[in-house]
């Protein structure tokens, strides 16, 4: 799960051009994006996502082919939507959005973004806690747990959350540099976990490997069954906020050519394919143990605790990897959440808003539900933020064709484009209701909600823009 | 400087190769785990030094 590519300064250079197009002199070749994407998608949450697929009873074909195609769709979305628009407008998501919907609505987006970041960082703190708790013989949260599992859990989570928050507030750059150093090592430790797990599973051929998952099985207690389509759609849209949601406009505005969008494949196939499958193999090894079988026999889902899983397979290096992976990804996530909040309350210092975001994330981390239900949470995360990207895509490609004013808020000096708000809220309300009341898997509805939001935005703009102009501005805007 | 860089690459190679050797029954599990830990610690030391020199 990537959070790094979002909208906020990773380096001093990214802080520039926040309200102007990136000039040609500062554009970068595809190699600059390759390492970034490869590293950023091997995060702490990968340790949880892989095993969770197994708890959903996936078959070998569903997992291997579904993930391959889902990741391919994500790469294509980045290449042909995000990178294409990013290299065209060369603006940050926030500034592009402000041009279309006005400053006040960007604030609402910031709020949603900030809160979701906090919960995501909370899940990463939970992941790290499962590793830090190993030496203390801490009771690990069960798959169905929602509440803290004991006082040791609370103390460990609070300690990790406090350290991460303070470091995010005070030493963001140091951790960012540390994350860059850790990144290639982390990818190799993920691979090591997979190789060692294969040995433990007695795999000597591809057919042995295939048979680990075989035809799939019943989902574990409290989980739903994932088919090929669940895996494909989920893996496509787990980063929906970044590709079809357009968050990575801020990244690709620096690309010389939209072809740089292909570099996201490094992130997808290293982090969201290799790392997930390796984590899945670790869990497959664990559920063959007597302890896990006893739990399953009694109708309880075996624990998904990345710390003990990695420790059993590769020892202390695995524990370090879980802590580092959780820490290095929670750190920028909390920092970014802080910046999102700061945009709403600019009078607060960066340190203060980052600490507030850290406190919210730590509180969320106390409740294992965010990590144990990560597949559901990530689906919700993408579902909420993706439709905003539809507004940008439809405005960029179709505004002139349907005869509405592109970048409307900027042109009429509006702080609030009601068409955007209505389209966003209606798409979320309608499709989320369908998911809840009809029991439809949420990732199946991300694309329909995205398309609906874009179309509704065009329709509402067609109706409301004219009224606005004649009533309030009396100006004529030439449509290109 | 070059030596530290080569050493850091060697650490990454250790992290990559140790599990493969364990898979091929060349290393025991304990040796593999120790190799991974040694490679990890040395990687962080050498890569940090290398990065600092680079700055």
Side-chain-facing half-sphere of A42: CA atoms under 13 Å = 29
pLDDT of residue A478: 42
The SS3 call for residue A255 is strand
Mean pLDDT of A137-141: 87
The verdict on residue A444 lying in a domain is: no
pLDDT of residue A69: 98
Q: How far apart are the first and last CA of chain B?
A: 12
> Chain B: nearest CA to A185, how far in angstroms?
6
The verdict on residue A351 lying in a domain is: yes
| Chain B contact probe: residue of A317, A318, A320, A324 with most B CBs at under 10 A | A317
The SS3 call for residue A412 is helix
> Chain B: nearest CA to A124, how far in angstroms?
21
Of the given ranges (A47-56, A153-162, A458-467), which has the lowest mean pLDDT? A458-467
Q: Would the CB atoms of A195 and B20 count as touching at under 8 Å?
A: yes
Q: Would the CB atoms of A317 and B40 count as touching at under 8 Å?
A: yes
Q: Would the CB atoms of B37 and A195 count as touching at under 8 Å?
A: no
> Chain A: nearest CA to B21, how far in angstroms?
10
Closest-CA residue to A359 (of A5, A110, A115): A115
Q: What is the pLDDT of residues A451-469, one digit of tens each?
A: 999 999 999 999 988 655 5
How many structural domains comprise chain A? 1
Q: Would the CB atoms of B16 and A185 count as touching at under 8 Å?
A: no
- Cβ atoms of residues A445 and A466 within 8 Å: no
The verdict on residue A252 lying in a domain is: yes
Which domain does A190 fall in, by range? Answer: 13-386
Q: In this complex, which of B12, B29, B51 lies closest to A184 when CB atoms are compared?
A: B12
Domain with A381 in it: what CATH number? Answer: 1.10.4160.10
Q: In this complex, which of A181, A185, A316 lies closest to B15 when CB atoms are compared?
A: A185
> Chain A: nearest CA to B53, how far in angstroms?
13
CA distance A384 to A108: 12
* Percent of chain A with pLDDT strictly greater than 90: 56
Name the pTM for this structure: 0.88
Measured between CA atoms, the residue of chain B closest to residue A314 is B33
Q: Would the CB atoms of B12 and A196 count as touching at under 8 Å?
A: no
Q: How confident is the model at residue B54 (pLDDT cuts 50, 70, 90)?
A: low
Q: Residue ranges per domain, chain B? A: 2-54
Q: What is the pLDDT of residues A281-306, one digit of tens each?
A: 999 999 999 988 998 888 888 888 89
- The beta-strand segments (E) located in A27-172 are none
> Chain A: nearest CA to B2, how far in angstroms?
17
**Looking at the complex, does the CB of residue B51 fall below 8 Å from at least one CB of chain A?**
yes
Between A31-40 and A172-200, two packed helices, what is the crossing angle to 10 degrees?
Answer: 60
Mean pLDDT of A323-327: 88
- Cβ atoms of residues A249 and A5 within 8 Å: no
CA distance A274 to A192: 11
- Cβ atoms of residues B40 and A185 within 8 Å: yes
**Looking at the complex, does the CB of residue B27 fall below 8 Å from at least one CB of chain A?**
no
Q: What is the DSSP letter of A205?
A: S
Q: In this complex, which of B16, B29, B34 lies closest to A188 when CB atoms are compared?
A: B16
Q: Would the CB atoms of B36 and A192 count as touching at under 8 Å?
A: yes
The verdict on residue A394 lying in a domain is: no
Element (H, E) at A35: helix A31-40
Closest-CA residue to A27 (of A17, A36, A40): A17
Using the Cα atoms of residue A155, residue A160, residue A165 and residue A166 in order, give the sign of their dihedral: positive
- Cβ atoms of residues A85 and A392 within 8 Å: yes
Average per-residue pLDDT for chain A = 88
pLDDT of residue A468: 53
């Amino acid at each position: 799960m990537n959070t790094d590519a979002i909208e906020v300064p990773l380096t001093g250079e990214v802080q520039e051009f926040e309200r102007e197009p990136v000039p040609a002199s500062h554009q970068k070749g595809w190699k600059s994006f390759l390492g970034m994407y490869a590293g950023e998608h091997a995060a702490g949450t990968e340790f949880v996502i892989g095993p969770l697929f197994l708890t959903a009873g996936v078959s070998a074909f569903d997992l291997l082919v579904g993930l391959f195609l889902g990741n391919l769709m994500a790469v294509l979305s980045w290449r042909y939507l995000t990178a294409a628009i990013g290299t065209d407008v060369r603006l940050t998501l926030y500034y592009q959005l402000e041009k279309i919907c006005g400053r006040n609505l960007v604030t609402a987006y910031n709020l949603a973004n900030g809160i979701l970041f906090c919960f995501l960082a909370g899940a990463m703190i939970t992941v790290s806690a499962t590793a830090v708790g190993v030496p203390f013989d801490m009771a690990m949260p069960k798959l169905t747990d929602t509440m803290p599992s004991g006082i040791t859990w609370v103390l460990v989570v609070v300690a990790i959350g406090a350290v991460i928050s303070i470091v995010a507030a005070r030493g963001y750059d140091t951790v960012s540099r540390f994350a860059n150093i850790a990144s290639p090592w982390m990818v190799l430790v993920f691979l090591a976990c997979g190789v060692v797990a294969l040995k433990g599973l007695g795999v000597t051929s591809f057919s042995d490997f295939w048979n680990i998952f075989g035809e799939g099985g019943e989902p574990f207690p409290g989980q739903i069954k994932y088919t090929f389509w669940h895996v494909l759609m989920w893996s496509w849209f787990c980063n929906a906020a970044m590709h079809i949601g357009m968050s990575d406009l801020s990244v690709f505005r620096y690309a010389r050519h939209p072809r740089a969008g292909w570099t996201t494949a490094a992130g997808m196939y290293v982090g969201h394919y290799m790392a997930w499958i390796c984590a899945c193999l670790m869990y497959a090894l664990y559920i063959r143990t007597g302890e896990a079988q006893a739990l399953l026999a009694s109708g309880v889902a075996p624990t998904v605790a990345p710390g003990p899983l990695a420790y059993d397979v590769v020892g202390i290096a695995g524990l370090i990897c879980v802590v580092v992976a959780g820490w290095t990804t929670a750190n920028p996530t909390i920092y970014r959440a802080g910046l999102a909040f700061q945009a709403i309350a600019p009078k607060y210092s960066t340190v203060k808003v980052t600490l507030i975001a850290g406190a919210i994330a730590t509180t969320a981390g106390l409740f294992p539900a965010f990590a144990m239900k990560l597949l559901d949470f990530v689906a919700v995360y993408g579902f909420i933020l993706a439709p905003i990207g539809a507004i940008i895509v439809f405005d960029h490609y179709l505004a002139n064709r349907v005869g509405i004013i592109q970048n409307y808020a900027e042109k009429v000096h509006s702080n609030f484009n009601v068409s955007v708000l209505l389209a966003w809220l209606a798409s979320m309300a309608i499709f989320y209701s369908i998911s809840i009341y009809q029991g439809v898997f949420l990732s199946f509805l991300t694309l329909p909600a995205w398309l609906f939001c874009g179309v509704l935005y065009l329709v509402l703009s067609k109706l409301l823009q004219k009224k606005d102009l004649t009533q309030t501005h009396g100006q004529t805007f030439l449509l290109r | 400087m070059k030596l530290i860089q080569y050493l850091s690459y060697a650490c990454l190679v250790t992290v990559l190769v140790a599990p493969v050797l364990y898979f091929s029954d060349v290393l025991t599990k304990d040796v593999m785990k120790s190799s991974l830990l040694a490679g990890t610690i040395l990687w962080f030391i050498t890569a940090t030094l290398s990065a600092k020199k680079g700055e």
